[in-house]
Structure 1
Amino acid sequence: MGSIKRLFQHTFIYGLATVLPKLLTVLLTKLLTKYLPGEIEFGEVSIIFSYIIFANVILTYGMETAFFRFQNDERYREKTTSTAMVSLFGTTVLFVVLAYLFLEPISGSTEIDARYLKWVIPVIALDTLMVIPFAKMRADQKPRKYALIKMLNVVLSVGTTVLFFTALPSFPSVAQYLPEDRIELFFIAFLAANLITFILICGVYFSSWAFDRVLWKRMLSYGWPILIAGLAFAVNETVDKILLQKFLPMSEADAEATVGIYTAGYRLAVGMTLFAQAFRLGVEPFFFSQSGDKNAPAQYALITKAYVALGVIALFAYVLLVDLIRPLLVDDGFITAMDIVPVILIAYLFSGVYQTLSVWYKINDKTYYGAIISSIAAVLTITLNIIFIPKYGYYISAAATCAAYGLMMLISYLWSRKHFPIPYEVGKLVGFLLLGIGATIFFFYYIRAEYGVETLETYGIGSAMLLLLAGIVLYVERGSIYSLIKKRS
């Protein structure tokens, strides 16, 4: 039980490392919606970030998860860090060289202005080079250091953006060297923040450069399915914005504006994103460190139940407060797709459940199952978007994301029963999900619509529903809570 306690302590710290930077990122989103000319430009930035996510997945090619897998193997522990680091460094340098050599063809195929790409390329490179240093902090159980640097990175991102958007243009001697295009200016500021962060954590690159070819081949073998799964995950996360731009039956400018409106609504789901990500950051190293424990299956089941129980409460609480949160994320007057917010929140709840269920193939070196599951979901996402975007617009994009993560969750559970049985309390898990999701949908689409946005009646009924939901969950889990308290005393 001590390991479970440590897991939740680390998850709490990782939660702070995720929540606090995201709160600062809220300011960044607000800055973009305030200082970019409009929805069209915000949509263009969103599309560029979609490509950045794809590039990050390809350039890390599953090496982060492979690092955690072999870091816990006594035979390879000493050389895991340096082998992963050398591998990523070499491929990243190759990427930068090729990307600048073929800048114009890349610009033409992605429809991203070459002016932006010349700054985006080093942003992608630095993101990749920081993967192993941050992974090592997690593996060495240094969540506080991880949290501090992650928060500093976002402070720098917000600070440099404010500096480039508001302060520097006021100095003629400096302004003459700055581009007038606000999108290009933003990516210069973003690159500056990443560069400073990399300098702070690059110490690992000055330690050992030992390279174990045998270990490297094993890491590649373990990691390539993670790459496929990562690409499929990126499809579920970002391809909808690219497809919206291409398949909406309107002009390119109107399509980019719609992408901006959709992205603003998508980002309002930040609450569940934070919850799922914090859990993943704490759970992933824990899965591997506990894989040899005879009680590991029971611990995995407890973690999943805890995630679902807390997740449905967090889901409803966030929906209750989302109208108060909106002005913090999006500038006044910026059109936002509010109707998709509950759907995206539920999608991220499903994604978090899938992450906890994925333990069975990660610890058994069967990562190709993860690639298959993610690929099936990616096909579903692409198919639904291509077929239905012309008729339903971004509503189908939100629904497709939710359906994809729900399918991944279901398939992973069904396959785990055959390959690595874990004593999940399925009845409780399904009951919590149905209760939380049902309450969320009823409140947002009926109570909020019937009694009005931000009215006393809406918040009164919502607060009562939240207390009832939390009370039911706590009552059902009273035995587990009592056991945990008793173990600590």
Structure 2
Amino acid sequence: MNPLKKLAGQTVIYGLSSVVGRLLNYLLVPLYTRYFLPEEYGVVTEMYAYVAFLVVILTYGIETAFFRYSQKVPNKRTVYSTSLISLLITSAIFIVIIYISAQPIANWLQYPETPEYIKCFALIIGLDAVAAISFAKLREMNNASRFALIRLINIFINIGLNLFFIIYCPYSIENNLSSVEFVNSVYSEDIGIGYIFIANLIASIITFLMLLPEMIKSVWIFDKTLWKNMMIYAFPLLIAGLAGITNETIDRILLKHLLPEAVNASSELGLYGAFYKLSILMILFIQTFRFAAEPFFFAQEKEKNSKKIYADVMKYFVIITSLIFLIVSMFYDFIILFLGSDYHDPRGFKVVSILLAANLFLGIYYNLSIWYKLSEKTKYGAYLSIFGAVITLTLNFILIPIIGFVGSAWATLACYFSMTIASYFLGKTHYSIKYPLKRIFFYLGLVVSMYFTSIYLNSNKIDVLYIIIFISISFYLEKPKKAVISSPKLFD
């Protein structure tokens, strides 16, 4: 089977869980923005920003190491069992430490009355970290259907519990329904946004239980030598992951501390978190692509035309993400209705447009990053992410006090753009791939020109026309290769 078609097929299946599933999960945002004020939603935004850091720390790059050593070591089961045992031990230690320290941590976060939030997230993070390696095993085995099924069940449980606690329970009490006695036994109005976290915890527990068959079937062998080699490979990825998550989420942590005192920091954080969700299509496509692409890239390494395949993947990726940028930015006036009226801030359009562009470059960077993973020079991944983190931190410290969360959006774009440029030139030196730069720059230039003329003309009809033109041009330019995609010579 043609490798590009195989990647596309796997991307579609993974999309059932990460695109369709997460899209359903993101549909909770209208619920949150209508039932909770921006300052309340700001708490949710901040807590999940910290969670993102801790998940990276607790998985310490072992997923990518698992993919790499599953290709290198004859006994894949030993690679999985070693990874699983490692994560079980570190996750258990983490949960115990956080439980003991819950109150001091809550005090430090300025939520002294809710240490339960901290305990809840300790369990969520610990369970999700252990589950991550079993999900990685399903990906490595190309068992995309089971992967998608478990992910979807997790998401539907989370959504269902959110609807139950936030909508049904108050409605049942208010209208004295027959279920009110049961509702009173499980629901308390005082918990409020805490039910968002409780729903997440229950979903994580059920997901963990569904993955138990993979864990139980493990050979339960811990190979110390293999583990050391995996950690040597993974450590730079951990550093890169921490720097990367700094680039992705540090703005939502710093906002609370860098905004002027006269500004309601929690409210601004809630607004920014909601605007971030509006770039959902771009983020979800990139996440889905990564799920399918990472094992695909490793598997293609041994093929004679692997570099040509990587170059073609990059080109089609740019086409799709450029189209997503156009659709979301040009129809922002409709997309903003996704949020409650308290979140209709005029700064939203600028922030969403900037974040869309930022995530487009992040996706390009993910494509480029294959050079240091395949050449086993993962330290460069750490260097690049640290480079980006320095840009992110510097610009956030400079811009947040001046222009608030708009500055955070600009910092994100500057970071990912700089990392993309740096990774490209480093890759040319260490693992050269001949990307179709002229075609890529053409698509990006076309999108930029359409975006700015759309703002100037301010016409929905023109916006629709632009999208049709972009699709038509892309189809025309790429159509000849589609008919003969299995013939590598025609890509030259």
Counterpart position of 1:52: 51
- Does structure 1 conserve the Cα–Cα contact (< 8 Å) formed by 2:243 and 2:389? yes
Distance of aligned partners of 1:485 and 1:320 in 2 relative to their CA distance in 1, 3 Å threshold? farther
- Does structure 1 conserve the Cα–Cα contact (< 8 Å) formed by 2:2 and 2:486? no
Residue of 247, 253, 256 corresponding to 1:236: 247
Counterpart position of 1:164: 165
Counterpart position of 2:9: 9
Counterpart position of 2:177: none
In structure 1, distance between residues paired with 2:123 and 2:472:
50
- Does structure 2 conserve the Cα–Cα contact (< 8 Å) formed by 1:116 and 1:183? no
Could you list the runs of 5+ residues in structure 2 that have no partner in the other structure? 174-179
CA-to-aligned-CA distance 1:195-229 (integer Å, 9 cap, x gap): 11221122122122111111111111111111111
In structure 1, distance between residues paired with 2:389 and 2:410:
13
- Report 1:40-119 matches (<5 A): 40-112=39-111, 113-119=114-120
Tell me whether 60-69 or 12-21 shows the greater mean CA deviation: 12-21
Counterpart position of 2:336: 326
Partner amino acid, structure 2, of 1:249 = P
Residue of 279, 289, 293 corresponding to 2:299: 289
Partner amino acid, structure 2, of 1:109 = W
Counterpart position of 2:19: 19
In structure 2, distance between residues paired with 1:359 and 1:486:
24
Counterpart position of 1:439: 450
Deviation at 1:193, TM superposition (A): 1.5
- Report 1:193-342 matches (<5 A): 193-208=203-218, 209-251=220-262, 254-328=264-338, 330-336=339-345, 337-342=348-353
In structure 1, distance between residues paired with 2:186 and 2:443:
57
Counterpart position of 1:481: 482
- Report 1:359-370 matches (<5 A): 359-370=370-381
- Report 1:413-424 matches (<5 A): 413-424=424-435
In structure 2, distance between residues paired with 1:382 and 1:481:
43
Partner amino acid, structure 1, of 2:381 = G
- Does structure 2 conserve the Cα–Cα contact (< 8 Å) formed by 1:47 and 1:241? yes
Partner amino acid, structure 2, of 1:204 = E
Tell me whether 179-188 or 267-276 shows the greater mean CA deviation: 179-188
CA-to-aligned-CA distance 1:359-378 (integer Å, 9 cap, x gap): 11111111111111011101
- Does structure 2 conserve the Cα–Cα contact (< 8 Å) formed by 1:346 and 1:437? no
User: Given the alignment of the two structures, is residue 32 of structure 1 paired with residue 35 of structure 2, yes or no?
Assistant: no
Counterpart position of 2:140: 139
- Does structure 1 conserve the Cα–Cα contact (< 8 Å) formed by 2:73 and 2:79? no
In structure 1, distance between residues paired with 2:202 and 2:333:
33
Deviation at 1:403, TM superposition (A): 1.1
Provide TM-score, normalisation by structure 1: 0.93
Counterpart position of 1:186: 196
- Does structure 1 conserve the Cα–Cα contact (< 8 Å) formed by 2:369 and 2:423? yes
CA-to-aligned-CA distance 1:313-342 (integer Å, 9 cap, x gap): 2221222333333333x2344334232111
In structure 2, distance between residues paired with 1:434 and 1:145:
40
- Does structure 1 conserve the Cα–Cα contact (< 8 Å) formed by 2:388 and 2:419? yes
- Does structure 2 conserve the Cα–Cα contact (< 8 Å) formed by 1:308 and 1:429? yes
Identity %: 35
Provide TM-score, normalisation by structure 2: 0.92
- Does structure 2 conserve the Cα–Cα contact (< 8 Å) formed by 1:76 and 1:215? no
Which stretches of structure 1, 4 residues or more, deviate above 6 A after TM superposition?
none
Partner amino acid, structure 1, of 2:102 = L
- Report 1:430-469 matches (<5 A): 430-443=441-454, 445-447=455-457, 451=458, 458-469=459-470
In structure 2, distance between residues paired with 1:472 and 1:117:
51
In structure 2, distance between residues paired with 1:294 and 1:484:
16
Counterpart position of 1:402: 413
Deviation at 1:358, TM superposition (A): 0.7
Could you list the runs of 5+ residues in structure 1 that have no partner in the other structure? 452-457
Deviation at 1:111, TM superposition (A): 3.2
Counterpart position of 1:455: none
Secondary structure at 2:211's aligned position in 1?
helix
In structure 2, distance between residues paired with 1:441 and 1:146:
41
In structure 1, distance between residues paired with 2:27 and 2:340:
10
Tell me whether 126-135 or 318-327 shows the greater mean CA deviation: 318-327
Distance of aligned partners of 1:124 and 1:428 in 2 relative to their CA distance in 1, 3 Å threshold? same
Tell me how large the CA RMSD over aligned residues is. Answer: 1.8
